[in-house]
């Protein structure tokens, strides 16, 4: 297989980061949901990754924000070491980590390592603010309408708006990753790293915890262990309530994202496919994502959002 043709901006970045040194074993990688172009390569026997994403005219600060967040996270030791970041071209170069994505576990040592990495990130220098979650919701709603002729479920939009209102005091409390699905968490031999900083910015640290809890810590006792490891002590009632609110928000935005995924396929799945419990659906999706319609996942998330929302006093007045 021939090496991929490199964009001129990537070629210039490689020369700036490794002047006069040969770049070998160049291969393409998947850019995931963000659609970024990724390449893996080797210089002097060491592995690296270069990322280039198309600049977004609707969010002109995105490249500068992502570069700034990656630089801070790299210096804090919770992101791969950064060797090059150019906000003008959207190209970054970092170490390629020999790690595995985070998978569901009750291992207390791994829970502590993940919690310690989160604390180190959240306790570090502030991140710039980025688009709000409501901005992201409006984007998904418009995309769903354009693709499938119908936007996000009105119930979901109303619930998210109320959750956002209640959580507003914590909205910009810390430097946050804001997209901690398990594939963005790499467990290496000696450290836990966070990757893909596309959505990073000032945020609510409990949302980062809650996102991890959705996929990697699906059982309540696992999420409680993660919260206590993060706090370094047993959680009090107020912290548990805040964690539950954050979980409802994380579930709701995953629901919206999977509804968008369903819209890209033309609409929802058959009705008889949307009644399974969330844990069962996520297990099936994790094992074979190509066999699980995103609408099935979205419907399971929506049911879980409804259940969590009803348990929160702040939402009991919603229809």
pLDDT of residue 39: 94
Q: Which one has a higher pLDDT value, 88 or 274?
A: 88
Cα–Cα nearest to 301, from 309, 291, 312: 309
Measure Cα distances from 153 to 75, 160, 246, 315 in Å: 41, 11, 20, 17
Q: Report residue 74 CA to chain centroid gap.
A: 17
Q: 65 near 74, Cβ under 8 Å?
A: no
pLDDT of residue 221: 94
pTM value is 0.91
pLDDT of residue 76: 97
Cα–Cα nearest to 200, from 67, 6, 107: 67
Would you give the end-to-end CA distance of the chain in angstroms?
A: 57
Lowest mean pLDDT of 49-53, 84-88, 285-289, name the range: 285-289
pLDDT of residue 1: 53
Q: Is residue 314 pLDDT above 60, yes or no?
A: no
Other C-beta atoms within 10 Å of 198: how many?
Answer: 22
Distance from C-alpha of 312 to C-alpha of 92, rounded to nearest angstrom = 42
The mean predicted confidence, pLDDT, of the chain is 91
Q: Which one has a higher pLDDT value, 83 or 266?
A: 83
Q: In what order do the strands lie in the sheet with 100-101?
A: 100-101, 185-187, 192-194
- pLDDT tens, residue by residue, 191-242: 999 999 999 999 999 999 999 999 999 899 999 999 999 999 999 999 999 9
Residue 269: pLDDT band with limits 50, 70, 90: low
Cα–Cα nearest to 38, from 264, 198, 199, 201: 198
Q: 274 near 298, Cβ under 8 Å?
A: no
pLDDT of residue 5: 87
**Beta strand ranges found along 148-299 (DSSP E):** 174-176, 185-187, 192-194, 201-203
Q: 308 near 243, Cβ under 8 Å?
A: no
Which residue has 């914590």 as its token pair? 170
pLDDT of residue 310: 85
Q: Which one has a higher pLDDT value, 269 or 66?
A: 66
pLDDT of residue 317: 47
Q: 253 near 290, Cβ under 8 Å?
A: no
Beta bridge partners of 82: 94
Cα–Cα nearest to 184, from 207, 211, 163: 211
Distance from C-alpha of 111 to C-alpha of 222, rounded to nearest angstrom = 9
pLDDT of residue 276: 82
Q: Is residue 35 pLDDT above 70, yes or no?
A: no
pLDDT of residue 136: 93
Q: Which two tokens stand for residue 307?
A: 């259940």
pLDDT of residue 115: 97
Neighbour-count burial of 106, counting CB atoms closer than 10 A to its CB (0-12 exposed, 13-18 middle, 19+ buried): exposed
Q: 16 near 83, Cβ under 8 Å?
A: no
3-class DSSP assignment, residue 217:
coil
């Amino acid at each position: 297989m021939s090496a991929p043709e490199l964009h001129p901006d990537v070629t210039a970045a490689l020369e700036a980061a490794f002047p006069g040194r040969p770049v070998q074993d160049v291969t393409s990688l998947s850019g995931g949901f963000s659609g970024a172009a990724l390449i893996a390569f080797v210089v002097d026997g060491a592995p690296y990754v270069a990322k280039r994403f198309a600049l977004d005219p609707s969010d002109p600060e995105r490249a500068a924000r992502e570069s700034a967040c990656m630089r801070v996270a790299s210096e804090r030791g919770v992101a791969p070491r950064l060797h090059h970041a150019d906000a003008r071209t959207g190209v970054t170069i970092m170490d390629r980590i020999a790690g595995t994505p985070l998978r569901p576990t009750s291992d207390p040592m791994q829970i502590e390592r993940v919690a310690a990495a989160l604390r180190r990130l959240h306790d570090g220098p502030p991140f710039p603010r980025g688009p709000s979650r409501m901005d992201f919701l409006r984007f998904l709603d418009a995309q769903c309408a354009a693709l499938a002729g119908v936007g996000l479920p009105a119930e979901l939009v109303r619930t998210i708006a109320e959750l956002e209102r209640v959580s507003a005091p914590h909205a910009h409390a810390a430097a946050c990753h804001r997209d901690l699905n398990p594939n963005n968490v790499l467990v290496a031999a000696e450290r836990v790293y966070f990757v893909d900083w596309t959505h990073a910015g000032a945020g609510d640290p409990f949302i980062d915890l809650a996102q991890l809890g959705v996929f990697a810590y699906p059982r309540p006792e696992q999420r409680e262990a993660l919260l206590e490891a993060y706090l370094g002590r047993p959680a009090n009632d107020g912290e548990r309530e805040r964690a539950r609110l954050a979980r409802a928000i994380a579930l709701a935005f995953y629901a919206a994202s999977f509804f968008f995924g369903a819209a890209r396929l033309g609409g929802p799945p058959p009705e008889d496919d949307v009644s399974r419990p969330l844990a069962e659906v996520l297990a099936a999706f994790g094992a074979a994502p190509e066999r699980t319609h995103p609408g099935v996942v979205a419907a399971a998330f929506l049911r879980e959002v409804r259940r969590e929302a009803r348990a929160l006093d702040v939402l009991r007045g919603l229809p």
